[in-house]
Amino acid sequence: MVKWGQYSHPVTLLPCHPVTLLPFHPVTPSPRHLFTPSPRHQKLKNMAQITSIAVMTSGGDSPGMNAAIRAVVRTGIYCGLDVYGICRGYDGMIDDQIEPMLSSSVSNIIQRGGTILKTARSARFLEYSGRLQAYNNLKAHKIDALVAIGGNGTFTGASIFDKEFNFPIIGLPGTIDNDLYGTDATIGYDTAVNTVVEAADKIRDTANSHERLFFIEVMGRDAGFIALRSGIACGAEFILVPETTTYIDNLARLLRHDWRRSKTSGIVIVAEGDDAGGAYEVAKKVKEKLPEVDARVTILGHIQRGGAPSAFDRVLASSLGYLAVKGLLEGHRGEMAGIVKQEVVFTPFEKAIKHHKDINKEMLEMSRILAL
């Protein structure tokens, strides 16, 4: 390969000859697909006998879902498949809210938060009658396989549906909690962490100005991944997560030690599922033991789910969306697509849901050392 600037001698340009352009005849693309699939992709399609797929988002939304939808739709179209979008998750599947998707359907969405397909939690899908209606609707549209973007609840429903109706489904890990086994990061996790860090940095400014201690509650009912990573990034004095036991007496003693060392402000990141309670409960208990400290509470709430996805989440979602379609065509089913140590991994739904993803407790120790 010749690199730019490799040669220093003059270059003689060949004379330019005019080129006659052939007349342009516009072609209207077929609704079925916009690209002609390559022979290799035709072979992949024939392996699983799939000609039509659908994509949906379910459960809590997360930044990057739109990027994943875009990747599924355009990869499916490139492979010569009919692609459908299901609005409002499993409820939309039951109510036949199923629409064909073209490449233009997903234009200008990679940078948008939320999900253009909407999302919902479905009580009706818990009943066999609801799942049967959903299956009948899919077959009425001649849909052969499904890409489901969501978390634990989404994959639990997908696993049952696959077994009952022999219907191929690949899951994409779309949740800010990063609590699914079988992937290093879930879609939306990185953006949520950055949202928390940005908010905590602003709270740190006012904490310093007023010499206050702030307890900031972040999402994480069962897992403390958001709390841990954001707490380290914003230099929190303490990080409380569901995976460890919180001893209020010990927390109060350490905070008192910090204040006696002339530390006049602080941040405590509290995951909502911490065993000592949420931020309000923890702050109340600490205040009883440290009445001299001016303590305040901030609940960040659903701002962690919104906003434009980070570059990391856009690339992750795009990669997983592409891999989901490729996996279906190669015969994968009943599995979640993930990336572990930069390698593509397909993990059975049951394993992704039931296997516990351990938090790095050494990072918790490190966070306390660095906050001294």
48 within 8 A of 331, measured Cβ to Cβ: yes
Residues facing residue 351 across a β-bridge:
none
Q: Closest Cα partner for 218 from 226, 207, 229?
A: 226
The phi and psi torsions of 22 (rounded to 5 degrees) equal -75, 150
Sheet strand arrangement including 98-100: 98-100, 82-86, 52-57, 145-150, 169-173, 335-340, 343-348
Catalytic positions are: 177
The span from the CA of 68 to the CA of 56, in Å, is 10
- Residues ≥6 apart with Cβ < 8 Å to 135: 161, 164, 165, 167
Pairing of strands 335-340, 295-299: unpaired
Return the structure tokens found at 241: 């997560």
Return the structure tokens found at 121: 């939690």
200 within 8 A of 212, measured Cβ to Cβ: no
Helical (H) or strand (E) element with 252:
helix 248-260
Residue with tokens 């891999």: 323
The phi and psi torsions of 189 (rounded to 5 degrees) equal -60, -50
